[in-house]
């Protein structure tokens, strides 16, 4: 017999444990929370800029997120 019954069980157990560990490692790399960062300054609790562009980056739940919407409010001050 090429393998004894005991060594086959040890090999099978090691392969199964490798698969369990691999799945856990892959799942740990998938974001499951929403995080966002920006270099914009904060004024009255809101991120603001006077430039016509800003940078926003972050992560969202890769499994359950279908869309991420960013609300943009434009406030213009007119003077005569």
Could you write out the DSSP letters of every residue in 12-44? Answer: HHHHHHHHHHHHHHHHHTS--S-EEEE-SEEET
pLDDT bin (cut points 50, 70, 90) of residue 80 is very low
State the Cα–Cα distance between residues 39 and 34, nearest whole angstrom: 17
Query: How many structural domains are present in the chain?
Result: 1
Q: What is the pLDDT of residues 10-69, one digit of tens each?
A: 788 889 999 999 999 999 988 888 888 888 888 888 888 888 777 878 888 888 888 777
Predicted model pTM = 0.47
pLDDT bin (cut points 50, 70, 90) of residue 8 is low
C-alpha distance across the termini of the chain, in Å: 97
Q: Is 72 helix (H, G, I), strand (E, B) or coil?
A: coil
Q: Give the residue numbers spanning the domain of 62.
A: 1-80
Residue 7 reports pLDDT greater than 80? no
Task: Name the nearest CA neighbour of 40 among 8, 77, 72.
Answer: 72
């Amino acid at each position: 017999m090429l393998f004894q019954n005991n060594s086959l069980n040890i090999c099978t157990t090691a392969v199964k444990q490798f698969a369990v560990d691999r799945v856990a490692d892959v799942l740990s790399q998938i974001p499951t929370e929403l995080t966002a960062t920006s270099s914009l300054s904060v004024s009255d609790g809101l991120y603001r800029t006077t430039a016509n562009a800003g940078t926003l980056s972050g992560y969202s739940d890769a499994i359950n997120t279908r869309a991420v919407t960013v609300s943009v409010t434009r406030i213009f001050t007119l003077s005569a």
